[in-house]
Structure 1
């Protein structure tokens, strides 16, 4: 039986990956991050090891001991937690010492190169999860009206620029005004800030960075996203089709219908 590694962050994506890998006849060797990963993941995998943020060397040794040749990163790591609670080991220090920038893309690519030099190839989790990627078109809730379509177009344009700077993936717009840009605080807090500034009717746009490496940090949305949107009266969620992970899709769509929130996949 082939073994595949799972470097697990928060959210539901590690569970989806583990279940699909098992369905393909693989043994999943998971490494979970304290304070981020749901402990319930242990029941879904063949092997489960806790690490602290920054313990890259320990992850490598865990995979080498289990004869893992391929691994995927699935689930997010809170940026604030990464800034305040990381405990870099020697492996992480070696990676950091070679970097000119600590921006997400540069850091994650360097981590992948470190794993590959140690005999573990990092693969895209979406290679196993095509069924949960956002499709194009209208997905749930009311149809967009022309003013909302203009706000979506503005959000896509600004999100592209935000992504080029490797800052964040989410933009909140209303009435042609940009209300909030996602930075270190994450999607939920960006939505809250934008909703408070612009009032009801805000449009939330989430998309990949241009040239995004699909092995890392894909945008994701689920019922929790809609819960935060409903909290501040945001009415549209526009997601990049083919590159955004939909979490708990039936619950996501039913929540959208119940709250009157439009969900669309944008090409």
Structure 2
């Protein structure tokens, strides 16, 4: 097992056209690979932004869009995480993270759906149920999506499953205090799970309208002690950080919150 992974967070603004969003993935993946990163993380809804008929654009995991992402990852020798939409029952979609790279082909379906602040994701999206942890460059990496970050139990479960780093692609809704909440939640979930948390949001769009969650930027990487290791502003950009996972074992020895916590019946 490695104790270091270099991660790039690609804070983009995805648009309405999946083919154009593939161009963003290609450009930023090449930049991340050039920077020596093992992993490049794109936001939730990279395939197609919220605020439109996402069911029309959903494709299976073996479809053209996902296979194009696989090709980009393969060409650059790097693992790519990107948010997409896959078909589900009852004319819904699943909010899916594609995880693909050298020796890796996995996916995570968003568990907690964003039925809050006047938006009802569950109207069009079916929820997932299974946490995911995979090994990338010798590091155990867990996955969560956007609204998942408000639920400590998921992050604690990922810690139980051996995650040393949790990546959180998002398309965070704007509003009073929402940027502060985003940063606070990332730090809190790192503390809850004693993992690193790398949370990649959509950049804030220039012409946001309606109540669809389109992003506020401020992608952030936090240590297992809640320290912010790097953060972007609201505009498009890329944050590259070396994560040294030996800190996870050290923190879990001195602050064993996963071991010490009590479980209560619902």
| TM-score, normalisation: structure 1 | 0.32
Structure richer in helix, relative to its length: 1
Q: TM-score by structure 2 length? A: 0.32
Q: Which has the larger radius of gyration?
A: 1
Report the structure, 1 or 2, having the larger strand content. Answer: 2
Higher relative contact order (CA 8 A, sep 6+): 2
